Amino acid sequence: MIACHEAVNRLWEYLDDTVDLDQRVLVEEHLARCRTCCGELEFAKELRRLLAHRSPDDLPEDVVGRLDRTIEELGT
Amino acid sequence: MALRVRADDSAETTPVDRDEAFRTLARAQLPRLVSIARRLVGDDAEDMVQECLLKGFQRFTQLRDIAAGPGWLTSILVNCCRDLVRATSRHPLEIDYDDLEQFSLFKHIAYEDPYPYSDSLHLDFLGEFAADDVRAVVRRLSLTYRIPLVLVYMEGFLAREVAEMLDVPLGTVLSRLHRGRKLFEKQMWEYAEEAGLLLRKDGP
Protein backbone atom coordinates (compact mmCIF):
# COMPACT_ATOMS: atom_id res chain seq x y z
CA MET A 1 0.00 0.00 0.00
CA ILE A 2 1.28 3.50 -0.78
CA ALA A 3 2.16 5.78 2.15
CA CYS A 4 -0.24 8.50 3.38
CA HIS A 5 1.80 11.39 1.94
CA GLU A 6 1.82 9.70 -1.48
CA ALA A 7 -1.95 9.23 -1.39
CA VAL A 8 -2.53 12.80 -0.16
CA ASN A 9 -0.28 14.25 -2.86
CA ARG A 10 -2.44 12.59 -5.53
CA LEU A 11 -5.88 13.40 -4.11
CA TRP A 12 -6.62 16.45 -6.26
CA GLU A 13 -5.39 14.67 -9.38
CA TYR A 14 -7.56 11.74 -8.31
CA LEU A 15 -10.59 14.05 -8.03
CA ASP A 16 -9.66 15.70 -11.35
CA ASP A 17 -9.45 12.26 -12.95
CA THR A 18 -6.00 13.09 -14.30
CA VAL A 19 -4.24 10.13 -12.63
CA ASP A 20 -3.67 7.01 -14.71
CA LEU A 21 -5.54 3.81 -13.87
CA ASP A 22 -2.66 2.28 -11.86
CA GLN A 23 -2.41 5.35 -9.64
CA ARG A 24 -6.19 5.52 -9.25
CA VAL A 25 -6.20 1.93 -7.97
CA LEU A 26 -3.35 2.70 -5.54
CA VAL A 27 -5.16 5.75 -4.16
CA GLU A 28 -8.43 3.85 -3.79
CA GLU A 29 -6.70 0.95 -2.03
CA HIS A 30 -5.17 3.41 0.38
CA LEU A 31 -8.45 5.26 1.00
CA ALA A 32 -10.22 1.98 1.71
CA ARG A 33 -7.90 1.39 4.65
CA CYS A 34 -6.98 4.86 5.95
CA ARG A 35 -9.57 6.96 7.78
CA THR A 36 -7.22 9.98 8.08
CA CYS A 37 -6.77 10.15 4.31
CA CYS A 38 -10.54 9.86 3.83
CA GLY A 39 -10.71 13.01 5.98
CA GLU A 40 -8.13 14.59 3.66
CA LEU A 41 -10.28 13.60 0.67
CA GLU A 42 -13.43 15.20 2.11
CA PHE A 43 -11.45 18.33 3.02
CA ALA A 44 -10.05 18.50 -0.53
CA LYS A 45 -13.62 18.35 -1.89
CA GLU A 46 -14.69 21.20 0.42
CA LEU A 47 -11.67 23.28 -0.51
CA ARG A 48 -12.45 22.82 -4.21
CA ARG A 49 -16.07 23.87 -3.56
CA LEU A 50 -14.79 27.01 -1.85
CA LEU A 51 -12.57 27.80 -4.84
CA ALA A 52 -15.38 27.25 -7.35
CA HIS A 53 -17.94 29.22 -5.32
CA ARG A 54 -19.28 32.31 -7.07
CA SER A 55 -20.43 35.43 -5.30
CA PRO A 56 -22.35 38.43 -6.68
CA ASP A 57 -19.29 40.65 -6.36
CA ASP A 58 -17.46 38.46 -8.90
CA LEU A 59 -19.39 40.47 -11.48
CA PRO A 60 -19.82 44.11 -10.41
CA GLU A 61 -22.78 45.52 -12.36
CA ASP A 62 -21.12 48.87 -13.09
CA VAL A 63 -18.04 47.18 -14.58
CA VAL A 64 -20.11 44.78 -16.69
CA GLY A 65 -22.27 47.72 -17.86
CA ARG A 66 -19.27 49.77 -19.01
CA LEU A 67 -17.74 46.77 -20.80
CA ASP A 68 -21.09 46.03 -22.47
CA ARG A 69 -21.00 49.54 -23.90
CA THR A 70 -17.44 48.94 -25.13
CA ILE A 71 -18.69 45.89 -27.02
CA GLU A 72 -21.54 47.85 -28.60
CA GLU A 73 -19.16 50.58 -29.74
CA LEU A 74 -16.65 48.22 -31.39
CA GLY A 75 -16.41 48.98 -35.10
CA THR A 76 -18.66 52.03 -34.98
CA MET B 1 -13.30 54.72 -31.74
CA ALA B 2 -12.99 53.43 -35.33
CA LEU B 3 -11.82 49.82 -35.35
CA ARG B 4 -12.04 47.61 -38.42
CA VAL B 5 -11.38 43.92 -38.94
CA ARG B 6 -8.85 42.97 -41.60
CA ALA B 7 -9.95 43.36 -45.17
CA ASP B 8 -9.57 39.74 -46.34
CA ASP B 9 -13.33 39.27 -46.62
CA SER B 10 -14.75 36.18 -48.23
CA ALA B 11 -17.67 36.50 -50.65
CA GLU B 12 -20.10 35.26 -47.96
CA THR B 13 -18.92 37.25 -44.96
CA THR B 14 -19.08 41.01 -44.85
CA PRO B 15 -17.18 43.12 -42.30
CA VAL B 16 -20.54 44.07 -40.80
CA ASP B 17 -21.42 40.37 -40.31
CA ARG B 18 -18.05 39.73 -38.72
CA ASP B 19 -18.30 42.73 -36.41
CA GLU B 20 -21.69 41.48 -35.23
CA ALA B 21 -20.36 37.91 -34.84
CA PHE B 22 -17.59 39.23 -32.60
CA ARG B 23 -20.03 41.28 -30.54
CA THR B 24 -22.24 38.20 -30.07
CA LEU B 25 -19.25 36.15 -28.91
CA ALA B 26 -17.99 38.93 -26.63
CA ARG B 27 -21.40 39.53 -25.02
CA ALA B 28 -21.80 35.82 -24.29
CA GLN B 29 -18.31 35.57 -22.79
CA LEU B 30 -18.29 38.87 -20.89
CA PRO B 31 -19.33 37.49 -17.46
CA ARG B 32 -16.69 34.79 -17.64
CA LEU B 33 -14.01 37.23 -18.82
CA VAL B 34 -14.75 39.67 -15.98
CA SER B 35 -14.76 36.88 -13.43
CA ILE B 36 -11.42 35.46 -14.64
CA ALA B 37 -9.82 38.91 -14.77
CA ARG B 38 -10.96 39.75 -11.23
CA ARG B 39 -9.44 36.55 -9.99
CA LEU B 40 -6.20 37.07 -11.88
CA VAL B 41 -5.57 40.79 -11.41
CA GLY B 42 -8.16 42.16 -8.96
CA ASP B 43 -8.84 45.86 -9.43
CA ASP B 44 -7.19 45.93 -12.87
CA ALA B 45 -9.82 43.53 -14.21
CA GLU B 46 -11.88 46.12 -16.09
CA ASP B 47 -8.82 47.48 -17.94
CA MET B 48 -7.69 43.97 -18.85
CA VAL B 49 -11.09 42.93 -20.21
CA GLN B 50 -11.28 46.17 -22.17
CA GLU B 51 -7.86 45.48 -23.70
CA CYS B 52 -8.87 41.89 -24.42
CA LEU B 53 -12.03 43.03 -26.23
CA LEU B 54 -10.13 45.51 -28.39
CA LYS B 55 -7.41 42.98 -29.27
CA GLY B 56 -9.98 40.26 -29.90
CA PHE B 57 -11.93 42.55 -32.22
CA GLN B 58 -8.80 43.49 -34.15
CA ARG B 59 -7.70 39.86 -34.50
CA PHE B 60 -11.11 38.28 -35.07
CA THR B 61 -10.31 37.29 -38.67
CA GLN B 62 -7.57 34.99 -37.27
CA LEU B 63 -10.21 32.85 -35.53
CA ARG B 64 -10.96 29.95 -37.88
CA ASP B 65 -13.65 28.17 -35.85
CA ILE B 66 -16.23 30.21 -33.92
CA ALA B 67 -16.73 27.23 -31.56
CA ALA B 68 -13.17 27.86 -30.33
CA GLY B 69 -14.09 31.50 -29.61
CA PRO B 70 -14.50 31.24 -25.81
CA GLY B 71 -11.06 29.64 -25.33
CA TRP B 72 -9.51 32.03 -27.86
CA LEU B 73 -10.86 35.13 -26.07
CA THR B 74 -9.82 33.73 -22.69
CA SER B 75 -6.35 33.14 -24.05
CA ILE B 76 -6.11 36.80 -25.17
CA LEU B 77 -7.29 37.92 -21.71
CA VAL B 78 -4.77 35.71 -19.90
CA ASN B 79 -1.96 37.14 -22.02
CA CYS B 80 -3.10 40.72 -21.29
CA CYS B 81 -3.01 39.87 -17.56
CA ARG B 82 0.42 38.27 -17.87
CA ASP B 83 1.81 41.35 -19.60
CA LEU B 84 0.39 43.58 -16.87
CA VAL B 85 1.84 41.49 -14.04
CA ARG B 86 5.21 41.19 -15.79
CA ALA B 87 5.34 44.96 -16.07
CA THR B 88 4.46 45.62 -12.43
CA SER B 89 5.79 42.67 -10.39
CA ARG B 90 9.35 42.74 -9.15
CA HIS B 91 9.52 40.34 -6.22
CA PRO B 92 8.00 36.90 -6.78
CA LEU B 93 7.30 34.80 -3.70
CA GLU B 94 10.30 32.64 -2.73
CA ILE B 95 9.27 29.01 -2.47
CA ASP B 96 10.88 26.06 -0.68
CA TYR B 97 9.54 23.25 -2.89
CA ASP B 98 10.68 20.39 -0.60
CA ASP B 99 8.88 21.98 2.31
CA LEU B 100 5.87 22.59 0.08
CA GLU B 101 5.58 18.95 -1.03
CA GLN B 102 5.26 17.87 2.61
CA PHE B 103 2.63 20.47 3.50
CA SER B 104 -0.96 19.36 4.17
CA LEU B 105 -3.45 22.06 5.20
CA PHE B 106 -5.74 19.37 6.60
CA LYS B 107 -3.02 18.10 8.95
CA HIS B 108 -1.78 21.58 9.73
CA ILE B 109 -5.24 22.68 10.91
CA ALA B 110 -5.57 19.53 13.03
CA TYR B 111 -2.10 20.11 14.53
CA GLU B 112 -2.57 23.83 15.24
CA ASP B 113 -6.18 23.29 16.42
CA PRO B 114 -7.22 26.96 16.04
CA TYR B 115 -10.76 26.42 17.37
CA PRO B 116 -10.37 24.13 20.40
CA TYR B 117 -14.11 24.12 21.17
CA SER B 118 -15.14 23.09 17.68
CA ASP B 119 -16.15 19.59 16.64
CA SER B 120 -15.94 20.53 12.93
CA LEU B 121 -12.52 22.15 12.92
CA HIS B 122 -11.75 21.90 9.22
CA LEU B 123 -15.13 23.14 8.01
CA ASP B 124 -15.00 25.99 10.55
CA PHE B 125 -11.63 27.01 9.14
CA LEU B 126 -12.95 27.11 5.56
CA GLY B 127 -16.13 28.84 6.74
CA GLU B 128 -14.09 31.86 7.83
CA PHE B 129 -13.14 32.60 4.21
CA ALA B 130 -15.45 34.99 2.34
CA ALA B 131 -15.22 35.22 -1.46
CA ASP B 132 -12.95 38.26 -1.11
CA ASP B 133 -10.59 36.30 1.14
CA VAL B 134 -10.35 33.43 -1.34
CA ARG B 135 -9.58 35.85 -4.17
CA ALA B 136 -6.92 37.53 -2.00
CA VAL B 137 -5.27 34.17 -1.27
CA VAL B 138 -5.26 33.22 -4.95
CA ARG B 139 -3.67 36.54 -5.87
CA ARG B 140 -0.76 35.79 -3.53
CA LEU B 141 0.40 33.09 -5.96
CA SER B 142 2.63 33.98 -8.88
CA LEU B 143 0.81 34.02 -12.23
CA THR B 144 2.59 30.81 -13.22
CA TYR B 145 0.44 28.97 -10.67
CA ARG B 146 -2.45 31.41 -10.40
CA ILE B 147 -3.52 31.11 -14.04
CA PRO B 148 -4.02 27.31 -14.17
CA LEU B 149 -5.58 27.29 -10.69
CA VAL B 150 -8.12 29.98 -11.61
CA LEU B 151 -8.95 28.54 -15.04
CA VAL B 152 -9.37 24.94 -13.89
CA TYR B 153 -10.70 25.11 -10.32
CA MET B 154 -12.54 28.42 -10.42
CA GLU B 155 -13.69 28.63 -14.03
CA GLY B 156 -14.11 24.97 -14.95
CA PHE B 157 -11.75 24.68 -17.94
CA LEU B 158 -10.09 21.31 -18.54
CA ALA B 159 -6.33 21.06 -18.04
CA ARG B 160 -5.86 20.24 -21.75
CA GLU B 161 -7.82 23.37 -22.72
CA VAL B 162 -5.55 25.45 -20.50
CA ALA B 163 -2.50 23.81 -22.10
CA GLU B 164 -3.79 24.92 -25.52
CA MET B 165 -4.52 28.45 -24.27
CA LEU B 166 -1.06 28.83 -22.77
CA ASP B 167 0.64 26.91 -25.60
CA VAL B 168 2.46 24.60 -23.18
CA PRO B 169 2.42 20.78 -22.84
CA LEU B 170 -0.36 19.20 -20.78
CA GLY B 171 2.26 17.84 -18.34
CA THR B 172 3.37 21.41 -17.59
CA VAL B 173 -0.18 22.45 -16.71
CA LEU B 174 -0.69 19.37 -14.52
CA SER B 175 2.55 20.03 -12.69
CA ARG B 176 1.65 23.72 -12.17
CA LEU B 177 -1.79 22.70 -10.89
CA HIS B 178 -0.22 20.30 -8.41
CA ARG B 179 2.23 22.87 -7.11
CA GLY B 180 -0.34 25.67 -7.34
CA ARG B 181 -2.84 23.95 -5.08
CA LYS B 182 -0.09 23.16 -2.55
CA LEU B 183 0.88 26.83 -2.58
CA PHE B 184 -2.78 27.79 -2.29
CA GLU B 185 -3.21 25.58 0.80
CA LYS B 186 -0.11 27.04 2.41
CA GLN B 187 -1.20 30.59 1.65
CA MET B 188 -4.69 29.83 3.05
CA TRP B 189 -3.11 29.21 6.44
CA GLU B 190 -0.78 32.21 6.29
CA TYR B 191 -3.61 34.48 5.17
CA ALA B 192 -5.87 33.18 7.96
CA GLU B 193 -3.20 34.03 10.51
CA GLU B 194 -2.47 37.48 9.07
CA ALA B 195 -6.13 38.45 8.55
CA GLY B 196 -7.18 37.33 12.03
CA LEU B 197 -9.50 34.58 10.77
CA LEU B 198 -8.26 32.23 13.49
CA LEU B 199 -9.36 34.49 16.32
CA ARG B 200 -13.10 34.76 15.76
CA LYS B 201 -14.31 31.59 17.44
CA ASP B 202 -15.03 32.06 21.15
CA GLY B 203 -15.18 29.27 23.67
CA PRO B 204 -18.36 28.21 25.46
SS3 B153: helix
Does B189 fall in a domain?
Answer: yes
Best of A8, A64, A67 to disrupt the B interface (most B CBs within 10 Å) is A67
Q: Mean of the pLDDT values across residues B134-151?
A: 93
**Same domain membership, residue B171 and residue B107:** yes
**Same domain membership, residue B104 and residue B67:** no
- The domain spanning residue B43 has which CATH number? 1.10.1740.10
Check whether A75 has a pLDDT greater than 90: no
Q: Mean of the pLDDT values across residues B150-154?
A: 94
A62 to each of A71, B36, B51, how far by Cα in Å?
14, 17, 17
**Same domain membership, residue B108 and residue B73:** no
**Same domain membership, residue B27 and residue B115:** no
Domain boundary among B88, B118, B153: B88
**Same domain membership, residue B82 and residue B103:** no
**Same domain membership, residue B115 and residue B48:** no
Domain boundary among B88, B120, B144: B88
Does B43 fall in a domain?
Answer: yes
Q: Mean of the pLDDT values across residues A2-17?
A: 91
Does B3 fall in a domain?
Answer: no
**Same domain membership, residue B68 and residue B150:** no
Amino acid present at B16: V
- The domain spanning residue B141 has which CATH number? 1.10.10.10
Note the pLDDT of residue B93.
Answer: 61
**Same domain membership, residue B152 and residue B76:** no
Does B5 fall in a domain?
Answer: no
Note the pLDDT of residue B45.
Answer: 93
Q: Mean of the pLDDT values across residues B95-115?
A: 86
Q: How many degrees, rounded to 5, is the angle at CA A70 between CA A69 and CA A76?
A: 100
- pLDDT band (50, 70, 90) for residue B13: low
**Domain count of the fold of chain B:** 2
Contact indicator for B40, B143 with CB cutoff of 8 Å: yes
Kindly state the DSSP code that residue A3 receives in the 8-state scheme: -
Domain boundary among B32, B59, B88: B88
Is B99 an interface residue toward A (CB < 8 Å)?
no
**Same domain membership, residue B20 and residue B82:** yes
**Same domain membership, residue B84 and residue B36:** yes
Does B7 fall in a domain?
Answer: no
Of residues B60 and B3, more confidence is placed in B60
Q: Name the minimum distance, in Å, from the CA of A42 to any CA of chain B.
A: 10
Q: Name the minimum distance, in Å, from the CA of B60 to any CA of chain A.
A: 12
Range of the domain at B39: 15-88
Residues of A in contact with B126 (CB under 8 A): 46-47, 50
ipTM field: 0.87
**Same domain membership, residue B102 and residue B66:** no
Contact indicator for A33, A3 with CB cutoff of 8 Å: no
Q: Name the minimum distance, in Å, from the CA of B97 to any CA of chain A.
A: 13
Kindly state the DSSP code that residue B151 receives in the 8-state scheme: I
**Same domain membership, residue B107 and residue B187:** yes
